[in-house]
């Protein structure tokens, strides 16, 4: 089954949004093509994406964020995606179970809130994906500006004031840590991840191959929104952070990971980014120990382009 997201005919304007406005259910086939397409777009190749034997779950598993755009673009099932000129300002994700390669998952959600702030119209989408057996895979909550041209707000702090400041500070006297474990000192860095963003990857990631023209895939669309050039989709930065966190937490990230990211500066094709993280503490209950982190993305100038927070359970063998 091929999911046809482009059948919506409503114009993607803030004024047209209804609250609540449900979307789906839509079936998405996480097949080999989808896995390899995501791998190219994010330059992410790990053995457990390609081999059953390397997976900690006994089957090939997809990248935890492979359904990111299926959740984010769920509104395309009713709205014409080519009329959207919004800007993603915040993303929050909860990971509950691995997504197995070959299964057909169901995605559904709703617009749950809309509000105005300083003349801009914001909309909140909540959505989830479930596996063939009904298990919850991923939950998503995203905030977008939909009443504004992207060029008038890009890089101008529209994500709002973070409830907890991300400082980007880490201990330089201690080497970055590769794997999660209890007892890590606050401000210990985790192993960073470097990526170069290409226009070809941006085109594939943002569904240019599905005939969508937007500020990520098409220069004319970017100019029409007041931008000098195409910008990378915010979800690509979330993908880099998620890759770093998956490497750090291992299998635990697939079943207990959480992240909340705000986007503060644009990223253009050709830029090199570094995903970073630092331990800020632990939280303990009778059932688990969770490591709490600050995470962020930096460009080559050392400026943060995305900031946020993340946590996951420490695997029992490491606890």
How confident is the model over 127-164, as pLDDT tens digits?
Answer: 999 999 999 999 999 999 985 544 444 545 444 544 67
Phi, psi of 193 (to 5 degrees): -135, 130
pLDDT lower than 70: segments of the chain: 1-7, 84, 147-163, 315-319
Q: Cα separation of 60 and 74, whole Å?
A: 25
Q: Residue 268: CB partners within 8 Å, gap ≥ 6?
A: 197, 229, 230, 231, 232
DSSP SS3 for 298: strand
- 163-197+232-319: same fold as 1-148? yes
Burial of 218 (0-12, 13-18, 19+ CB in 10 A): middle
> 37 vs 29, 33, 229, CA distance in Å?
13, 6, 24
How, if at all, do strands 193-196 and 136-145 pair? unpaired
Q: Distance between alpha carbon 130 and the CA centroid of its chain, in Å? A: 17
Q: How many CB atoms neighbour CB 135 within 10 A?
A: 12
Q: Which residues contact 45 (CB under 8 A, 6 or more apart)?
A: 39
pLDDT value, residue 1: 35
**pTM, to two decimals:** 0.90
What is the predicted pLDDT for the residue at 220? Answer: 77
User: What's 80's DSSP letter?
Assistant: E
State how far the Cα of 310 lies from the Cα of 280, in Å rounded to an integer.
10
DSSP 8-class letter at 62: -
DSSP string, 125-150: EEEEEE-TTS-EEEEEEEEEE-SS-G
Rounded Cα distance, 25 and 27, in Å: 7
Q: What is the pLDDT of residue 148?
A: 55
pLDDT at residue number 86: 74
Tens digit of each residue's pLDDT (9 = 90 or more) over 183-229: 999 999 999 999 999 999 989 998 887 777 777 777 777 777 777 88
CATH of domain 163-197+232-319: 3.10.129.10
* Per-residue pLDDT, 229: 81
Domain residue ranges in the chain: 1-148, 163-197+232-319
Residue with tokens 């929104």: 225
Contact 250, 232 (CB under 8 A): no
Vertex 310 angle, CA 254 and 282, to 5° = 100
Q: What is the CATH number of domain 1-148?
A: 3.10.129.10
């Amino acid at each position: 089954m091929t999911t046809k997201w482009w059948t919506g005919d409503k114009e993607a304007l803030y004024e047209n949004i209804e609250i609540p406005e449900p979307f789906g259910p839509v079936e998405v086939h996480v097949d080999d093509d989808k896995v390899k397409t995501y791998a190219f777009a994010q330059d992410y190749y790990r053995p457990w994406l390609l081999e059953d034997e390397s997976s900690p779950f006994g089957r090939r598993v997809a990248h935890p964020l492979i359904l990111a755009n299926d959740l984010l673009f769920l509104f395309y099932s009713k709205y014409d995606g080519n009329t959207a000129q919004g800007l993603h300002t915040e993303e929050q994700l909860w990971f509950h179970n691995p997504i197995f390669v070959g299964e057909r998952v169901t995605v559904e959600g709703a617009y749950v809130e809309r509000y105005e702030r300083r003349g801009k119209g914001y909309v909140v989408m909540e959505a989830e994906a479930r596996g063939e057996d009904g298990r919850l895979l991923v939950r998503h909550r995203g905030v977008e500006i939909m009443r504004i041209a992207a060029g008038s707000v890009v890089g101008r702090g529209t994500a709002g004031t973070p409830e907890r400041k991300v400082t980007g500070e880490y201990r330089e006297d201690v080497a970055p840590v590769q794997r999660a474990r209890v007892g890590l000192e606050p401000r210990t860095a985790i192993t960073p991840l470097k990526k170069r963003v290409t226009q070809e990857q941006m085109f594939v990631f943002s569904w240019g191959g599905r005939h969508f023209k937007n500020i990520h895939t098409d220069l004319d669309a970017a100019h029409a929104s007041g931008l000098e050039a195409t910008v990378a989709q915010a979800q690509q930065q979330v993908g880099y952070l998620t890759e770093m966190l998956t490497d750090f937490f291992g299998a635990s990230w697939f079943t207990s990971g959480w992240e909340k990211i705000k986007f503060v500066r644009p990223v253009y094709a050709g830029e090199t980014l570094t995903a970073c993280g630092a331990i800020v503490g632990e939280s303990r209950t009778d059932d688990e120990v969770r490591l709490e982190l600050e995470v962020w993305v930096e460009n080559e100038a050392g400026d943060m382009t995305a900031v946020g927070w993340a946590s996951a359970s420490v695997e029992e063998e490491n606890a």
